[in-house]
C-alpha cells in the first residue's frame, strides 16, 4: 500500500495548469515527476506493487500518456505492452470503440491481433477523470476476449468519481488522488 509520505513526496511533482488545453480544465501535469529520478523510480515501483503477484500477459496503455510508464510496468510484471491508440494511428487491422466526451465524441483503436482470448490484461493510463476513456479501452480488450485483471493509474481526479464507471469486481489502483 502507498503510504502518506510517498503520496506527499510524489504530489510535489504534479502541477496543475489552469485552462489547458481549454478554458475550465485544470490540467494535471506529471512531467515534473517524470523529470525527477527519485520520483520516477518511486512511481514505477509503486505502480507494480499491487499487481506483482498477478499473472499478467499484457499491460495495455492508453494514448498518449499511458505510453510513458506503461511499458515499464509491463516489463516489471514480465508482460508485453499493447498500445491502445487514437483513430488512424495503428497500421494493421483494428477494432474501434467510440466514447462520449463532454462535448462530442472520440474513439480508440486496438490491433485486432494484439491479444488472444483468455489473455490477462492490466489497463494503464496516467489519469482517470470521468472514466470514459478507460471504459472504451476495456470494451476493446474484452472484444478480443481479453480478461481485465486490473486498472492502473498514477492519478485519479477524485471529485469526478470516474472509477464508479468501472467493473467494481476488478481491482483499480491509483497512486494519487488529485
Ligand atoms: P476521462 O476519459 O474523462 O477519464 O479522461 C481521461 C483521459 O483524459 C486520460 O487519458 C488523461 O490523460 C486525460 N485527462 C482528462 N482530464 C485530465 C486532466 N484534468 N489533466 C490531465 N489529463 C487529463
Name all residues whose Cβ lies below 6 A of ligand 1.
25-28, 62, 65, 125-133, 157, 162
Domain-embedded: residue 43: no
Q: Which of 65, 85, 109, 173 is catalytic?
A: 65
Domain-embedded: residue 74: yes
Cell numbers standing for residue 135: 471504459
Please report the pLDDT score of residue 2 as a whole number: 85
Residue 119 · residue 147 · CB < 8 Å: yes
- The whole-number average pLDDT for the span 16-24 is 94
- The whole-number average pLDDT for the span 150-170 is 97
In eight-state DSSP terms, residue 78 is T
- pLDDT above 90 (res 171): yes
Domain-embedded: residue 73: yes
Quote the number of domains for the chain: 1
- The whole-number average pLDDT for the span 72-87 is 98
CA dihedral defined by 48, 34, 86, 16, rounded to 10 degrees?
Answer: 110
Task: Return the CATH number at 90.
Answer: 3.40.50.2020
Cell numbers standing for residue 139: 470494451
Domain-embedded: residue 3: no
- What range does the domain containing 119 cover? 52-177
Domain-embedded: residue 107: yes
Per-residue confidence band for 104, with pLDDT thresholds at 50, 70 and 90: confident
Which ligand 1 atom lies nearest to the CA of residue 29? Answer: 21
Cell numbers standing for residue 124: 494503464
Domain-embedded: residue 11: no
Strands (E), the chain: 15-18, 26-29, 58-62, 80-84, 94-100, 105-111, 120-128, 147-156, 172-177
In eight-state DSSP terms, residue 85 is B
The DSSP-derived string for 104-152 is: SEEEEEEETTS--TT-EEEEEEEEESSSHHHHHHHHHHHHTT-EEEEEE
Domain-embedded: residue 57: yes
Q: Is the peptide bond before 7 cis (omega within 30 degrees of 0)?
A: no
Q: How do strand 147-156 and strand 80-84 relate by DSSP bridges?
A: unpaired
Probe ligand 1: pick from 127, 165, 166, 172, max atoms within 8 Å of CB? 127
Domain-embedded: residue 8: no
Residue-averaged pLDDT of the chain: 97
Per-residue pLDDT of 38-69, as tens digits, reads 999 999 999 999 999 999 999 999 999 999 99
- State yes or no: is 102 an active-site residue: yes
Amino acid at each position: 500500500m502507498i503510504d502518506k509520505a510517498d503520496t506527499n513526496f510524489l504530489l510535489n511533482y504534479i502541477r496543475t495548469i489552469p485552462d489547458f488545453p481549454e478554458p475550465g480544465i485544470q490540467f494535471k501535469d506529471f512531467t515534473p515527476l517524470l523529470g525527477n529520478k527519485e520520483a520516477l523510480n518511486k512511481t514505477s515501483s509503486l505502480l507494480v506493487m499491487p499487481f506483482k503477484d498477478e499473472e499478467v500477459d499484457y499491460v495495455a496503455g492508453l494514448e498518449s500518456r499511458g505510453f510513458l510508464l506503461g511499458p515499464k510496468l509491463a516489463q516489471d510484471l514480465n508482460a508485453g505492452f499493447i498500445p491502445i491508440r487514437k483513430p488512424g494511428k495503428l497500421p494493421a487491422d483494428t477494432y474501434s470503440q467510440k466514447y462520449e466526451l463532454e462535448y462530442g465524441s472520440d474513439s480508440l483503436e486496438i490491433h485486432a491481433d494484439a491479444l488472444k482470448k483468455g489473455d490477462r490484461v492490466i489497463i494503464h493510463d496516467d489519469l482517470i477523470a470521468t472514466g470514459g476513456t478507460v471504459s472504451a479501452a476495456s470494451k476493446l480488450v474484452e472484444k478480443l476476449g481479453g480478461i481485465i485483471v486490473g486498472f492502473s493509474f498514477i492519478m485519479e481526479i477524485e471529485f469526478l468519481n470516474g472509477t464508479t464507471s468501472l467493473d467494481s469486481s476488478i481491482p483499480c489502483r491509483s497512486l494519487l488522488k488529485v
